[in-house]
Amino acid sequence: MGKVRTLLFAGAAGAALMYFLDPDRGEGRRAVARDRFSGLVRKGKINVERQARYREGQVEGLMHQVKTKGREGPAEDDIVVKDRVESQVFGRRGFPKGQINAEVVEGRLRLDGELESEAEISEVINECRSVQGVREVESYLHVKGTMAPSKASARRAG
């Protein structure tokens, strides 16, 4: 078995030598092979550099997360927080934006409006709590057909 493998390898090497050392077309074949090999090396180098930059960015991001973990930054602009709530909760999650009014004051999010069910209200409140910059959620959401919490307390007082 070993002799057959050696014989096949020697035959392939001899054929390759004849192909590249051919007096008529060998020079052109060698040039094409050299160019293709150079292209492969160049593409490999570019891919390695691209991967290195990508990994460097990942490490930089992880280092930033570790450095800022547990540190509370400055209070964010209320308009930015409101926009973030509207885009993340109402935009991506598909909650009915037209039925809910959101207002942010010093990081406190106030929600007013009507929804279909208590489960939907709970889901909206939980999603809003997870938005960056929201420090507290004050909910005046209620199920359609019931009295709004803010009006109910006003009627009891009057």
pLDDT at residue number 157:
46
Q: What is the CATH number of domain 78-157?
A: 3.30.1340.30
Diameter of the chain measured on Cα atoms: 109
pLDDT at residue number 75:
58
Strands 108-115 and 100-105: antiparallel
User: Across residues 147-151, what is the average pLDDT?
Assistant: 69
Give the pLDDT confidence of 54-89 residue by residue, as tens digits: 999 999 999 988 887 765 555 578 888 888 888 888
For residues 145 and 156, the model is more confident at: 145
> For the chain, which residues make up each domain, given as ranges?
2-67, 78-157
Give the pLDDT confidence of 32-47 residue by residue, as tens digits: 999 999 999 999 999 9
Which two structure tokens, joined as six digits, stand for 88? 């993340």
Residue 102: name the closest of 128, 122, 123, 133 by CA. Answer: 128
Alpha-carbon Rg for the chain in angstroms: 34
Burial per residue of 17-27, b for 16 or more beta-carbon CB atoms within 10 angstroms, e otherwise = eeeeeeeeeee
The pTM assigned to this predicted structure is: 0.47
pLDDT at residue number 29:
92
Backbone CA torsion sign across 38, 39, 42, 43: negative
